[in-house]
Amino acid sequence: MDYIDSPAQSRATILLMGLRRSGKSSICKVVFHNVRPLDTLYLESTTKPTTESFKSLIDLAVVELPGQLNLFEPSLYDSEKLFSSIGALVYVIDSQDEYLSALQNLAVIIKYAVSINPRIHIEVLIHKIDGLSEDFRLDTQRDIMQRVGDDLLDYGLEGVQISFYLTSIFDHSIYEAFSRIVQKLIYELPALENMLDLLMQYSNFDKVFLFDINSKIYVATDSSPVDIQTYEVCAEFIDVTIDLDGLYQISHKQKSNQIMASETSGSNTNMDLFSATEPTKCISKLQNGVTLYLHQMIRGLALVGVNRLEDGDDATSISVIDHNVAIFKKSLEKMWERSKLS
Amino acid sequence: MSSGKKLLLMGRSGSGKSSMRSIIFSNYSAFDTRRLGATIDVEHSNLRFLNNMTLNLWDCGGQDIFMENFLNNDNSNNQSSNTSSNVFHKCEVLIHVFDVESKEVQKDIDTFKRVLSNLKKYSPNVKIFILIHKMDLIQVNKRQELFDLMFDKLKSIALDEYGFHIRGFATSIWDESLYKAWSSIVCSLIPNVSVYERYLSKLNEILNAREIILFEKTTFLVISSTKRIVDSAKRDDLDPKRFEKISNIIKTYKQSVNKIRTNFSNLILHGNNSSIYLEILTSNIYIMIIMNNDNAQTAEATKQEDAASPKIIHYQLNDENLVLQDIKIARDLFEKIEREK
């Protein structure tokens, strides 16, 4: 695997392209802004390139280009600079529409992008598959892959690696696809996966995800295959944790009251009022013996694991997990510090 | 089947009666209700609630032809078909649903009047709830005004002409207002709420929790909470809608867990400011205990001065065991209440 490691740029950038009305803005809204999928029906069409940046494990920026853009209009912006600075190009194809023109457009863009930045990751989202029947989806995917391959062959670009994803904003497939795309941009991924594998081994986890809390994208997981339903439950579990905790948040007014109270009582403990907060932790048992485990990590990340505990010694095994997770967190912090220094 | 309590769910066609029922009692998500068709005549459902309470929910189809059928033959001689006396006989609760977007408000009200007159005749002790439904279609700032307008009108009709006291709620299936309404409705049917409340306040004396809430297991409606006992002056300014929101959150969680073909049994959350324990209390009740976390405990902790600071690190585990033990003990107590009834 190759990574973009140009030192000049500090954050990974994803470029989101596609024909108009293919669903680019909706994807952005749903994944990064927690907008309900149905509400994206009323989005205006995007007229100028928009950039959104996100702080997660890596600093991520998503640049969205308007669909009706003529790429080779030099006056609009410096496309050469743009393409040389991005880590991944995501092209969105509307699978419910006639996609031949989209494929032509895609081939032109790929040719251009590769000529400028040969190490770019090219990802194709075959989007809006919620409207297609089960067998038709695979047919569509095969057809698109075939055609793209042919087009590239015509351009003499047969070596280019392209990944395809079937996505829809109405289920979790879009998160899954974005997780994969973001993961390719994380330089430390193999090390992270190794650590998660170790954690899994020693704590009897069935599956461990490292989630970004805001977007529900998982930035890393262990090397066992991802089961989409497990992912969904874990993502939902984060929501439950955050929502419940939010309900019993102490409001600012009260907090200041408490500080006032502690000040009047003569003690100056208000410093550790805020510093002593423990990381959020949540454990939920299911009736089939599975335990969901969430532990807050650094930088808006949370570790969510699925564990199948043997009956009886719950308290001990959870303590063991706690201990292991604490070690994992420490090494994550260390790793993060290193990567900042280098 | 006649042993249970009879609930009538009425309202004009398309006002969302069956959707409500499906969400509260059949674990539908709000999105799923789109595929519900029109209810034909009456759909009965028997729901066991809190072990020994059975609810017979009569979901009455709201199309004019069915409504006429229910309402009309009281003034004609009863020989044709006894539907009306059948429907309105021995009824404990009426839930009348109004579509807030309805074009024919006058007709809605007329129907309501006729239902009331029937009830007066056949079951005068009925409790009446009205739900102004589909509130999500109204702009946020106009909702309260509109609700007050409609509710006042209906209230005066019910009281002046028929002598019924009614209670009203503004609801929508897309938020938690639905849970609030149904929670109050169902709570009004539980015979010994006071016993639950007494035990709950005892439990709270031991635990010194921030809040304790009891939920019914399958529907996750709120049965009782410490808020109703303790005066609210002492309470911190928490979200007034939190009970409904919790019902909503846990219901969603249950649905997603159902996808991996299981059900959840407990949840322990150590959050920023509070620790939340959600546990099975009896075979029908979930208990949720919200404890103040180390942050909030400073009031007590500061009294113990510096001795408290090493404690904070180990506090979670010790505390957790204590709370879980207390729940275990409470379990016996509450199971006893359930058996006694």
Q: What is the per-residue pLDDT across A85-106, written as a single tens digit (0 to 9) for each?
A: 788 888 888 888 888 888 888 8
For residue A287, the chain B residues in CB contact (below 8 A) are 262-265
Tell me the domain boundaries of chain A: 11-184, 189-338
Mean pLDDT score, A153-157: 83
Q: Can you say whether residue A237 is alpha, beta or left, with left for phi > 0 and alpha for psi between -120 and 50 degrees?
A: alpha
Q: Is B3 on the interface with A (CB under 8 A)?
A: no
CATH architecture of the region A189-338: 2-Layer Sandwich (3.30)
| pLDDT reported for residue B66 | 81
Fold match, A11-184 / A189-338: no
- The predicted-structure confidence for B51-75, as pLDDT tens digits, reads as follows 677 888 888 888 888 888 777 654 4
Contact A241, B281 (CB under 8 A): no
Q: Residue A251 above 60 pLDDT? A: no
Task: Report the pLDDT value the prediction gives residue B227, as an integer from 0 to 100.
Answer: 66
pLDDT at A8 over 70: no
Q: Which two tokens stand for residue B127?
A: 């409790």
Q: What is the pLDDT of residues B235-278, one digit of tens each?
A: 556 677 788 888 888 888 888 888 888 888 888 888 776 788 88
The pair of structure tokens assigned to B287 is: 């208990």
Residue A342: the pLDDT is 56
Q: What three-state secondary structure class fits A141?
A: helix
pTM above 0.90, yes or no: no
Q: Is A259 left (phi over 0), alpha (psi -120 to 50) or beta?
A: alpha
Nearest to B273 among A249, A267, A290 (CB): A249
CA distance B233 to B231: 6
Q: Tell me, what's the pLDDT at A159?
A: 76
- In this prediction, residue A276 has a pLDDT band, given cuts at 50, 70 and 90, of very low
Average pLDDT over chain A reads 77
Other CB atoms within 10 Å distance of the CB of residue B87: 21
Inter-residue contact A298 to A280 (CB < 8 Å) = no
B262/chain A closest Cα distance in angstroms: 6
How much is the average pLDDT of B216-226?
A: 83
pLDDT per residue as tens digits for the range A256-275? 555 444 444 433 333 333 33
Asked whether residue A253 carries a pLDDT value surpassing 60, the answer given is no
Q: Quick one: pLDDT at residue B8?
A: 86
**What distance in Å separates residue B307's CA from the closest CA in chain A?**
13
* Contact criterion met (CB < 8 Å) for A258 and B298: yes
Q: Do B264 and A287 make contact, defined as CB atoms within 8 angstroms?
A: yes
CA pair distance B246, A165, nearest whole angstrom: 36
Which CATH superfamily, name and number, covers A11-184?
P-loop containing nucleotide triphosphate hydrolases (3.40.50.300)
Is the model more confident about A55 or about B159? B159
What mean pLDDT do residues A264-287 have?
58
Q: Least CA distance to A272: which residue of chain B?
A: B295
Name the residue facing A248 among B267, B271, B309 (closest C-beta): B271
Pick B231 or A29 by higher pLDDT.
A29
Asked if B116 and B164 touch (Cβ cutoff 8 Å), the reply is yes
The beta-carbon neighbor of B267 closest among A229, A267, A284 is A284
Nearest CA in chain A to B316: A278
**Which one of A36, A207, A248, A325 would you mutate to disrupt binding with B, by most B Cβ within 10 Å of its Cβ?**
A248
Residue B94 reports pLDDT greater than 80: yes
The residues of A whose Cβ lies within 8 A of any Cβ of B are 229-230, 232-233, 236-237, 239-241, 243-245, 247-251, 253-254, 258, 261-262, 265, 267, 269, 272-274, 276-278, 280-288, 290, 315, 319
CA distance B262 to B251: 14
Looking at residue B335, its pLDDT comes to 80
Interchain CB distance below 8 Å, A284 and B274:
no
| Encoded tokens for B312 | 């904070």
Do the Cβ atoms of A229 and B260 come within 8 Å?
yes
pLDDT at A9 over 50: no
What is the DSSP pairing of strand A301-308 with strand A290-296?
antiparallel
Residue A232: list chain B partners with CB under 8 A: 256, 259
Low-confidence winner among A30-34, A221-225, B12-16 (lowest mean pLDDT):
A30-34
Beta-carbon separation of A288 and B261 below 8 A: yes
Among the partner-chain residues A254, A273, A283, the one whose CB lies closest to the CB of B268 is: A283
